[in-house]
A and B are shown apart, each in its own frame.
Chain A
């Protein structure tokens, strides 16, 4: 387990560095060719991208909660949820994470934060309304396991950074294509335009690849691990298994999810993906961030 923790930290550092370099390259090209800053543009690029990456790293939990428009849970309003979390924190021996609720009929939950001390667990109102006490306990335990294993750091930081890299790449390539088209037969520096175009093309190829890279790194095994660890906290694998069946069988999509955050949830937020997975289509299991629900349920039911 401690190996898993340090592996997660290393992977996070690696991804942050890689994406920072990626952004540095974009900014360098833009400031070099468009603003003609010369060699200073290298300094500007590295400074901006590394400061940006650090800001993202530091605020990742806030960004994610903002995206989901979640409200903090209170003991008065969400008594059952608070009680469950307090009990599980004792079982897991971790400090109590902050609890958030998002108004959404979908059945889903995620965890985020930089470290167990800064952990956050967020559940949908759909989850609160449709699960019984022990099922909800199972889901919260799964998220707590992610927090204890430092999965949240990797998932959140990598998700946001790679997600924004994809968005930046798409925007950049679009802008550049348009700019290059308008300026064809242009005035000076045909070479500069060519370089920019070439980079645009590379970005367009890179963006989906980066997405795949994210999904590979956030290996699906960690979902199995979190299921098992969660069941170890509750000593009740059956409740989590039945909760997963409910979550996987639901056809309500999560409204606030995006490519960047897809890998964070307990089950994939896209309803069609879940339906495909249940129908055992090959394509969905190949590109999915989550293992098929029935495999997870089987694994839980086969725990000792």
Chain B
């Protein structure tokens, strides 16, 4: 009788240790995902802060392109209101699109192209764009690892009990997203 009690206690203890190990592993992964999202946020914020400056600079040279400026400003405002991963991803995509058209417009103004201020902003923005895509890549990789972690058997049972939920991916519309815009330094 003593022996069987010991065995039961041992089995329960082992099971508990197993669950604790899985729980801690998932917490680590989840923190990594959250950190990954914070990285995206930092870079999005950086771009958000750069845009007014950029618009002002371009306005100084390209006075007749008000619709482009409006679009950029509106997309930027949308970005500021976005809360969830999905909303942010969508606002981000829209903003990237309008910025592209802004730079396309800027092509037509040689004086603007020659401005040191504009060139600096362009490099800075491209750089930030680059970092956003790297941060997105890191985030999506960690989300994949976390989601796989809570979906595989038998961890899916434990994850269900402990109320772990899968994260959303940060989706980009176009497949050529990672091909960052060319900048000559």
Task: Choose one: B134, B183, B185; the contact of A90 (CB below 8 Å).
Answer: B134
Q: Which residues 94-146 in B have Cβ within 8 Å of A in the complex?
A: 123, 127, 130-131, 134-135, 137-138, 142
Report whether A87 and B185 are in contact in the complex, using a CB–CB cutoff of 8 Å. no
Number of interface residues of A (CB under 8 A): 14
For A83, what are the chain B residues with a Cβ–Cβ distance below 8 Å? Answer: 127, 130
- Asked if A91 and B32 sit within 8 Å, CB to CB, the answer is no
B39 CB within 8 Å of chain A: yes
Q: Which one of A79, A80, A88, A133 contacts B134 once the chains associate, using CB atoms below 8 Å? A: A88
Docked Cα-Cα span, A236 to B180, in Å, equals: 11
A15 CA to B183 CA, complexed, in Å: 46
In the complex, A280 has a CB within 8 A of chain B: no
A-B contact count (CB 8 A): 34
Q: Are A87 and B36 in contact (CB under 8 A)?
A: no
Does B165 have its Cβ within 8 Å of any Cβ on chain A?
A: no
Q: Chain B, 26-65, contact with A by CB distance < 8 Å: what is the 0/1 string?
A: 0000001001100100010000000000000000000000
Distance from A91 Cβ to chain B, minimum over Cβ atoms (Å): 4
Interface range for B: 10 to 19
Q: Are B131 and A93 in contact (CB under 8 A)?
A: no
Cβ of A196 to closest chain B Cβ, rounded Å = 56
- Which one of B32, B35, B130 lies within 8 Å of A87 (CB-CB)? B130
Closest to A232 in B: B141
Interface residues of chain B: helix, strand, loop or mixed (majority): helix
B178 and A90 contacting across the interface, CB-CB below 8 Å: no
Residue A276, interface by CB 8 Å = no
CB distance from B120 to the nearest CB of A (A): 10
Q: Which residues of B contact A90 (CB under 8 A)?
A: 39, 43, 131, 134-135, 138
Cα of A90 to Cα of B142 in the assembled complex, Å: 12
A87–B126 CA distance with the chains assembled, in angstroms: 11
> CB distance B138 to A93 under 8 Å?
yes
A235 CA / B39 CA spacing, docked (Å): 19
Whether A87 and B127, one on each chain, are in contact in the complex, defined by CB atoms closer than 8 angstroms, is: yes
25 interchain pairs (CB within 8 A)?
A79-B185, A80-B185, A83-B127, A86-B127, A86-B131, A87-B127, A87-B130, A87-B131, A87-B134, A90-B39, A90-B131, A90-B134, A90-B135, A91-B134, A91-B135, A91-B138, A92-B138, A93-B32, A93-B35, A93-B36, A93-B138, A133-B183, A233-B134, A235-B137, A236-B178
> Given A93-B36, A236-B178, 13 more contacts at CB 8 Å?
A79-B123, A80-B185, A83-B127, A86-B127, A87-B130, A87-B131, A90-B39, A90-B43, A90-B131, A93-B32, A93-B35, A93-B138, A93-B142
